[in-house]
Amino acid sequence: MKIYRFAFYWLDTWILGNVIQLATQDFCKRYLNRSNDPCGRQYDQMTQAARSVPANIAEGGSRHSTSRETEMKLTDVARASLAELANDYVNWLMYQEQIPWSTHSDDHKRVTAIQLDRPDYKDDVQHLSSIHILKQKHKFDEWLNSGDSIIAANCLLVLCNRLIMMLRKQIENLLTTFCTEGGFTESLTAERLAYRTEQSMQSNAPVCPKCGKPMIKRMAKKGVNAGKEFWSCSGYPDCNGSRKTG
């Protein structure tokens, strides 16, 4: 059986992000027109914010094995785009002289109670994941296809807020893993520093005048000494001791 290399296909956040994107595209097509959006800017803003959510989750997930830091940053971009989209739905409701559902309302509770199914893609990931996403979207058809923009906007607002909380939890988990394990890029940096420190010790490099650790050669990247080599403490950035090479 072929194992797909991108784990984000199995993330509930990515799946719900796609549901929100599809539903937002449908919402904008149904309810935005030349009267309330004459230049099409609202349409573009909402559909692009919705697209950014699964796109950045996917891009972040594809970097999982190479840089946890990049994965966290991209996941946070998805969260920020989602917050922007949620605000657009709040604005739509208030523009219609309506307010978001109370968390105690029946509709809010019913939408919140709907759980996503666990994916089972086997070896045909793109084909089966698309079927799975559409199936999850149809769980909310009662509200999304009601023909009432107020009901649809409220449903999408609940889904946006739900996904924001899911992404916050995902980022917290990524941060915990990053702090304990790092990622491929971070590990390479540590390995390179350890190698350079060992080489410096073998070549009788000077010791740091501040902390006594062995020094390694670096090249200045900016300032009046840009392009010139200098001795830098191997404990940098905890120690900024330096010496001239000459």
- Tens digit of pLDDT for each residue in 173-196? 888 876 666 555 555 565 566 655
Residues 33 and 155 in one domain: yes
pLDDT, tens digit, 9 for 90 and up, residues 28-76: 999 999 999 999 999 999 999 999 999 999 998 887 667 778 888 999 9
Same structural domain, 136 and 67: yes
Task: Supply 89's token pair.
Answer: 């739905």
- The verdict on 96 and 15 lying in the same domain is yes
pLDDT at 23 over 90: yes
Q: Is 176 among the domain residues?
A: yes
Domain that holds residue 139: 7-182
Tell me what pLDDT residue 1 has: 38
Do 117 and 222 share a structural domain? no
> Is residue 139 in a domain?
yes
Domain end: 143, 166, 182, which one? 182
The last residue of a domain, from among 134, 156, 182: 182
Judge if 44 and 162 occupy the same domain.
yes
Residue 223's pLDDT band (boundaries 50, 70, 90)? confident
Judgement on whether residues 153 and 227 belong to the same structural domain of the protein: no
Question: Is 2 part of any domain?
Answer: no
Which H/E stretch holds residue 60? helix 41-62
Q: Specify if 110 maps to a domain.
A: yes
**pTM of the predicted structure, to 2 decimals:** 0.73
Across the beta sheet with 215-219, what order do the strands follow? 215-219, 229-233, 242-244
Q: For residue 170, is it within any domain? A: yes
Do residues 35 and 148 share a domain?
yes
Give the per-residue pLDDT at 101: 98
Q: How many domains does one find in the chain? A: 2
* Cβ-contact 119, 132 below 8 angstroms: yes
Q: Give yes or no: residues 95 and 205 share one domain.
A: no
Q: Are residues 101 and 117 in the same domain?
A: yes
Is 40 within the bounds of a domain?
A: yes
Q: pLDDT at position 104, please? A: 97
Q: Which of 182, 206, 225 lies at the terminal end of a domain, its last residue?
A: 182
pLDDT given for residue 218 in this prediction: 82
- Cβ neighbours of residue 114 closer than 8 Å, sequence gap 6 or more: 139, 140
Confirm whether 1 is domain-assigned: no
Q: Are residues 151 and 217 in the same domain?
A: no
pLDDT-based confidence at residue 224 (cuts at 50, 70, 90):
confident
How confident is the model over 200-225, as a mean pLDDT?
78
- Percent of the residues in the chain that have a pLDDT greater than 90, as a whole number: 59
What span, in angstroms and rounded, lies between the C-alpha atoms of 245 and 203? 13
Q: Is-contact 88 46, C-beta < 8 A?
A: yes
The answer to whether residues 134 and 225 belong to one domain is no
Token reading at 153: 């906007």
Pair 201, 176: CB distance under 8 Å: no
- The pLDDT score that the predictor gives to residue 216 is 82
What pLDDT, on the 0 to 100 scale, is given for residue 205? 80
The per-residue pLDDT for 219 is: 80
Q: Does 163 lie in the same domain as 142? A: yes
Q: Which pLDDT band, with edges at 50, 70 and 90, does 6 fall under?
A: confident
